[in-house]
Chains A and B, each alone.
Chain A
Amino acid sequence: MKRLSTLLFVGLLFALIVSACAAPAAPASQPAAPAEPAAAEATSPAPAEAQEFVTWYQYDENNEDPASDERVGNEYLRDTIPVFNEAFAGKWHWVNQPKAWDKMAAELVAAVQAGADVPDLFEGGSGQVSLFYKNGVMQDLTEWASAQPWYADMDPNALLGCTGPDGGLYCIPVAQRPHLVYVWKDRFPNGFPKTPEEFLVEAERLKGEGLYAVTFFGSTAFDGEGLTRAVWTTIASFGGNLDDGQGNMTLNTPENVAAVEFLRTLVQSGYVPEIAFAGGFQEENAFKDASAAAFPTGLFGYRYVNPLTAPNGTEYSKGNQEDMLDAIEAGDVMLSPFVAPEGMTPGCGVEVSGFAIPVGAKNPEGAKAYIDWIMTDAAQNSDWVLRPGGGFPTLKTTQASADFQTPFYQEAAEVLSQSACRSWYGSMDRKAEAQKLAMGAIYKVIKEDPTADIATELQAAQDEYNAGN
């Protein structure tokens, strides 16, 4: 026992040394005064009279890893925080608290319910509106926003994405993130098919070459996140709907069944790689090495899908967002609308991202100053949309600016003009539950049980959701 306690003592000593060594290297992590978290901000000193303005972003300005998945957003904060603090010197001092992307909404709801500290500004968008509304988390910004000069310049559809069930405006949309299809051009010598029937023909040909026609987020991971991506794009393209406009789910409709039937054919015929169902964004790998010819996903996906190897062997190996943009510029990758049955417009999902102000925010005026800055300063607006936003600007003037005339954005705009994008959840206010139920049912019939009756399974999920209304 004596030997053990000696060892343990040595171990503890070691631990203390480690912590002691770490401390001087990290003066920034130990705020001198506990009441002044601004001290954690070593990047720019705060003038004494400046008030704190706290944000929750999923990005971390202190993560300088150039290979991090979220480097684009991280860099945005690192570059912009000092600029903002300078522009608002003496008035506002921006403090960002990085949050985990899949937990920040939950944390905010818990914080509001418990009366804990909330940020002045929450980076979020249409995805959270119903959840936040139900939990009374967000301030209605209608009155303030509609009085601002930039309000009239905004895309009405984007505003709709931020509108709650009661008609209030619960977030300020800055970027729209539509979904479209990334395509390896060489895999479709006759061009990307227009209809599901044509697509199946091409898929069979590709299968014969040992390739897959399409990869997509097919798993039920992240509580059915896949529904919001390719599955909804398919349903929307078949003219389907998931809600009736009154908050009820309408999963079992002839259009939806046809769309699901199409997905089932793709999966059961072996046109989709198995990795599409592995979760954790593994499905991207099949597109990276061009073993899958098409990849319906969000426009912002270009950021994560790299490095790339084209069918002709060209390698795009910078390992960052430029790979996809380079491949598009070189003509190896093209953007395309999804397939749609004869006489229908291709559909796609769209999310709006922007800012919300939580109930109980200490300095909502700081948040408003920041939003106003982003919406008024053209360069800032473009920058936000290009980097954290990862989509199209909601302001028409920004849309026309040179930043959005690159080959990538021009092609994307062209593609989107041929599609009709809308949000998947429509009027449903229990989005997370709806997503999990619908994706569970669809996964079951397309992957697990190819003989199950599609309508029956969809109806069961629909009934379960509507029982909660």
Chain B
Amino acid sequence: MQQTGIRRRAKRWLRDSLPFWLLLPTILILLAVQVYPALYTVWLSFQERNPAGWEFVGGANFRRLFGMGLFGESIGHTTVFLLGYAGLTLVIGFVIALLLNRKLRFSGLYITLLFIPWVIADIIVGIAFRLLVVPDYGLLSGILQNPALFPPNGLSILTAVPPRPWIGDIPFPPAPAMVYLILASAWRALPFVTLLILAAMQTIPSELVESSRIDGANPRQVIRFIIIPLILPTLVVALFSLTLSGMNGVGMVFSLTGGGPGSSTEVLSYMLYSIGWRQLEFGRAAALALLIAAVNWLLIGGTLRLTRVEERSH
């Protein structure tokens, strides 16, 4: 009798504490690999290195960061990049999803071909795109450097001077290299966004589209008044996740433009790499990392809130 009681209690204890045991390894690993390094970054952002070791410098790293001419410039480049990258990817992804969202014989083949870019490392994508526009020898350069097409000297993407900004110091219209960087980044992100939108489109009941057609709506109206409103949450989720990946990706800039020509593709993530691992000013890099983290938090928070709203509405 007593034995079964103990056994039952042990069983219950085990059952009640099961979630703890299930979560424990994950939590331990994340504490070591994510939490401790993040705290270290916070500590680092208040330190500076001198020959004797680390020295507490208060907010000096942040002040130095804000004093950098490149910092403000880089925010401009990042904004232009994010807008172009997210906008372009969403629009093209939407169009491709629309095309795929019907019964096609070869849709499996199309999807497979379209999605290959997504598994290729960003550094390799950057190299592939760079090979296309190497001055004089790249296949695309052969076309773009034709003076008849781009007078007077043709267009060399990797070296072309950015156009004069329309408003103040805002780097718009962007340099050709920035446009090309956006294209390359969009190329790699497109499969993901297309699939996301396609999946959302397929949840739309076909009767809804049919009945509105019978009511006399033309295809454009169907898209505008039926499809877009219904997949809006997905579009916003895609937007956030694109912004997040665009904000943090550095491999593509690294291998495609290296921040150049001049500083015209120097986005914040590349600047972080440059300060940290080329100039080895780890303190200042940590300060910049925290600012980027703050933006990331806003984006993650936004995504979570949206998906929650979506979950509730279902």
Contact = CB atoms under 8 A, between A and B. Distances in A.
Across the A-B interface, the 5 shortest Cβ-Cβ residue pairs: A277-B159, A432-B279, A136-B51, A275-B135, A278-B135
Nearest to A467: B67
Contacts of A436: 274, 278-279
Given A278-B159, A279-B158, A460-B69, A220 B260 contact: yes
Given A430-B279, A440-B262, A274 B153 contact: yes
Given A220-B260, A274-B135, A444-B262, A135 B279 contact: no
Interface string B138-162: 0000000000000001001011011
Contacts of B49: 113, 134-136
Chain B at the A interface: SS class: loop
Interface string A100-124: 0001011001000100000000000
A464 B67 contact: yes
Given A279-B258, A282-B134, A433 B161 contact: no
Contacts of A221: 258, 260
Contact of A134 (B50, B135, B136): B50
B108 interface: no
A134 B51 contact: yes
Classify chain A's interface size: 35 or more
Contact of A220 (B64, B261, B278): B261
A141 to B, nearest CB: 16
A277 B64 contact: no
A223 interface: yes
Interface in A285-307: 285
B52 interface: yes
A258 B258 CA distance: 29
Given A103-B277, A467-B67, 4 more contacts: A113-B282, A136-B50, A436-B274, A443-B261
A444 B137 CA distance: 25
B168 interface: no
A433 B281 contact: yes
Nearest to B278: A223
A278 B158 contact: yes
Interface string A213-234: 0000001111100000000000
B70 interface: yes
Interface string B260-277: 111100000000001001
A309 to B, nearest CB: 15
Contacts of A274: 135, 153, 156, 159
Contacts of A222: 258
Interface of A: 103, 105-106, 109, 113, 131, 133-136, 219-223, 274-275, 277-280, 282, 285, 430, 432-433, 436, 440, 443-444, 447-449, 460-461, 464, 467-468
6 contacts: A103-B277, A113-B282, A278-B156, A440-B70, A440-B262, A449-B161
A210 to B, nearest CB: 13
A135 B274 contact: no
Contacts of A448: 161-162, 261-262
Contact of A282 (B67, B135, B161, B263): B135
B262 A443 contact: yes
A462 to B, nearest CB: 11
A69 B299 CA distance: 44
B279 A279 contact: no
A118 B110 CA distance: 51
B124 to A, nearest CB: 16
B121 interface: no
A278 B136 CA distance: 10
A222 B260 CA distance: 10
B68 A464 contact: yes
Interface in B223-268: 258-263
Interface string B29-65: 0000000000000000000011111000000000010
Nearest to B259: A220
A458 to B, nearest CB: 13
B217 interface: no
B280 interface: yes
Contacts of B156: 274-275, 278
B277 A133 contact: no
A418 to B, nearest CB: 33
Contact of A136 (B52, B136, B161): B52
A468 B261 CA distance: 26
Given A106-B280, A220-B263, A448-B262, A278 B134 contact: yes
A436 B280 CA distance: 13
Contact of B280 (A131, A279, A443, A464): A131
Contacts of B159: 219, 274-275, 277-278
Nearest to A461: B69
Contacts of A106: 277-278, 280
Contact of A447 (B50, B262, B281, B282): B262
Contacts of A449: 161
B138 to A, nearest CB: 10
Contact of A275 (B50, B136, B161, B279): B136
